[in-house]
Amino acid sequence: MKDVSFGQYYPVKSFVHRLDPRLKLLFLIVFIAAIFVADNFWSLGLCALVLILAVAFSRVPVGKVLRAVRGVIVLVVFTAAINVLFYTGKSEPLWAWWIFSVTREGIVFSVFLVARLVLLVTCSSMLTYTTTPVALTDGVESLLTPLKWIKFPVHVLALIMSIALRFIPILMDETERIKNAQKARGADFESGSLFKRVKAIVPVLIPLLLSAFRRADELGDAMDARCYMGDKKRTKYKKLVFTWRDLVAFLIGALMLAATILLRIYGADLFGVLLGPVI
């Protein structure tokens, strides 16, 4: 639970923190699109370079950023192992047994897929590290404003997302507190078989669910006491305005996506010409 970084905000003044939340959301969508468009290490390296620059200008500690990867390390290792053992290439297998085989293409593809997953998780965590839940909610609501024409409850969706982001760190702390209380009573969460450890989590989940429902009920009562009426005649304390920083970030994102698409189309011919004399 300590490795979960989504929903956590790192308060510091930086170039990335001052960007408009709408631009950050669009930049994240463009970055994810560029990651999946990339089909070689050159274009993936370009995406990694842009992400490194974003981390540097955000002034968020590198260790805190990499903590997001620790939260999904099991998924990354599992995905890499599956692709190494089952990916079939044109070359002779380096190792084979029963239905498993390890090929050079499988290793390269697994490394490429792991790099793609790491970039995907890291860029998503950077959004919440550099954007407060309130600003993120305002950005989502502003981007989805055209859906109001078809009577879509945009404000309600943004409010649900904001509450969910605020509750993530609260529930993490609550989980840690309940686990410590159970350990003080003799509970063991780390030894024994997998079934025994899963069974030991049940005394944690039940009070955690009760606590979540209690907090939700208290939040609803607090909103009713303040006469909350949804998005009817609501005003904004802070209005979102694009600045020169947003223009710079927009140009970087557009150039990155365009370069990734060009490398996908012409990458083989370009690097064949450049590396031909060397090879």
Instruction: Let me know: does 68 contact 10? Beta carbons within 8 Å.
Output: no
DSSP 238: S
- Determine the pLDDT at residue 231: 66
Instruction: Enumerate the domain spans of the chain.
Output: 1-131+242-279, 155-238
Q: Scanning the structure block, which residue is given the tokens 């969508």? A: 29
Q: How far apart (Å, rounded) are the C-alpha atoms in residues 192 and 6?
A: 30
Q: Side-chain half-sphere of 230: how many Cα atoms within 13 Å?
A: 6
- Determine the pLDDT at residue 80: 78
Continuous segment of H or E residues that includes residue 102: strand 100-102
Q: What is the pLDDT along the chain (279 residues), one digit of tens a residue?
A: 455 555 578 888 889 889 998 899 999 999 999 998 888 888 888 899 999 999 999 888 888 888 877 777 778 788 878 877 777 766 666 666 776 777 777 788 888 888 888 888 888 888 888 888 888 888 888 888 888 888 888 888 888 887 887 787 788 888 888 888 888 877 777 777 767 777 777 888 888 888 888 888 988 898 888 887 776 666 777 778 888 888 999 999 999 999 888 888 876 555 554 444 333
DSSP for 21-69? HHHHHHHHHHHHHHHHH--SHHHHHHHHHHHHHHHHHHT--HHHHHHHH
